[in-house]
Amino acid sequence: MPITAEPRHLDARYDVTVVGAGPAGLAAAIAARDQGAERILLVDRDAEPGGILRQCIHSGFGLHAFSEDVTGPEYAHRYVERVLERDLDVLTDAYVTDVTREHRVKLMSPTTGVTTVDTGAVVIGTGARERTRAQITIPGERPAGVMTAGLAQKLVNLHGYLPGSRVVILGSGDIGLIMARRLTLEGAEVLGVFELLPHANGLSRNVVQCLDDYDIPLHLSTTVIDIHGHERVERVTVAPVDEDLQPIPDRSRDIDCDTVLLSVGLIPDAELARQLQLSLDQRTGGPVVTSTYETSLPGVFSAGNNLHINDLADWVSQEATVAGAAAADVALGRTRARQDIAVTPGTNVRYVVPHTLSTDLTQTVSFRVKQPIYGDTIVRIGEAHRRKVRAVVPAEMVTITLGPRLLAAYAGETLRVDAVPAEQAEDAGTDGATDRDGAG
Partner 1 sequence: MAEHTDRSTAAPQGEVETFTYLCTGCPLGCRLEVDAVDDDVIEVRGFTCKKGERYGIQEHTDPRRAVSTTVWLGSGPMARLPVRAAEHVPKDEVMAFVQALRGYLVEAPVTCGDIVAEDVAGTGIDLVATRSVAAADDLTVVI
Out of 33, 39, 45, 54, point to the residue binding partner 1 (CB under 8 A).
54
Residues 200-239 touching partner 1, rule: CB under 8 A, are 203-205, 207-209, 212-213
Chosen residue from 393, 416, 435, 439 binding partner 1 by CB under 8 A: 393
Please tell me the distance from the alpha carbon of residue 334 to that of residue 343, in angstroms, as a whole number.
25
Q: Does 409 bind partner 1 (CB under 8 A)?
A: no
By CB under 8 A, is residue 48 in contact with partner 1?
yes
Min. distance of Cβ 69 from partner 1 in angstroms? 7
Which CB atom, from 9 or from 78, has the smaller least distance to partner 1? Answer: 78
Of the two residues 393 and 439, which places its CB atom closer to partner 1 in the complex?
393
Contact between 390 and partner 1 per CB under 8 A:
yes
Binding partner 1 (rule: CB under 8 A), the pick from 391, 408, 409, 422 is: 391
Closest to partner 1 by CB, 178 vs 272, is: 178
403, 397 contact by CB (below 8 A): no
- 104-109 and 95-99 strand pairing: antiparallel
Q: Which stretch binds partner 1 (CB under 8 A): 167-175, 179-187, 237-245, 405-413?
A: 179-187
CA distance 177 to 306: 22
How far apart are CB 140 and partner 1 at their closest, in Å?
32
Q: DSSP assignment of 168-225, as one string? A: EEES--HHHHHHHHHHHHTT-EEEEEE-SSSS-SS-HHHIIIIIGGGT--EETTEEEE
Q: Which is nearer to partner 1, 49 or 173 (CB)?
A: 49
Least CB distance from residue 193 to partner 1, whole Å? 16
Cβ atoms within 10 Å, residue 333: 7
The CB-of-245 to partner 1 minimum distance in angstroms stands at: 23
Span from 154-162, 277-285, 342-350, 354-362 in contact with partner 1 (CB under 8 A): 154-162
Is 423 among the residues that bind partner 1 (CB under 8 A)?
no
Query: To the nearest 10°, the Cα dihedral for 254, 149, 272, 308?
Result: -90
Q: Answer yes or no whether residue 64 interacts with partner 1 by CB under 8 A.
A: no
- Residue 259's alpha-carbon distances to 92, 164, 222, in angstroms, are 33, 6, 18
Instruction: Work out how close the CB of 230 gets to partner 1 at its nearest, in angstroms, rounded to a whole number.
Output: 30
Q: Pick from 275, 295, 276: which is nearest to 284 by CA? A: 295
The reply on whether position 166 binds partner 1 by CB under 8 A is no
Cα(386)–Cα(380) distance, rounded to whole angstroms?
5
Q: Which stretch binds partner 1 (CB under 8 A): 29-37, 158-166, 255-263, 287-295?
A: 158-166
CB of 374: closest distance to partner 1 in angstroms? 7
- The nearest distance, CB 391 to partner 1, in angstroms, is 4
Helical pair 313-331 and 23-34, crossing angle rounded to 10 deg = 40
Q: Residue 319 and residue 294: Cα distance in Å, rounded?
A: 11
User: How far is 248 from 252, CA to CA, in rounded Å?
Assistant: 7
Q: Which is nearer to partner 1, 58 or 380 (CB)?
A: 58
- Residue closer to partner 1 by CB (options 52, 236) is 52
Per the DSSP assignment, residues forming a β-bridge with 131 are none
Q: Are 299 and 278 in contact (CB under 8 A)?
A: no
Residues 366-385 that bind partner 1 (CB under 8 A): 374
Rounded CA-CA distance 176/262 in Å is: 7
CB 240 within 8 A of CB 233: no
Among 110, 113, 187, 440, binds partner 1 (CB under 8 A): 187
Q: What share of the chain is helix, strand, coil (3-state, %, to 5)?
A: 25, 30, 45
Residues interacting with partner 1, by CB under 8 A?
A: 1-3, 5, 47-50, 54, 57-60, 69-74, 76-77, 80-81, 84, 92, 156-160, 185-187, 203-205, 207-209, 212-213, 374, 390-393, 395-396
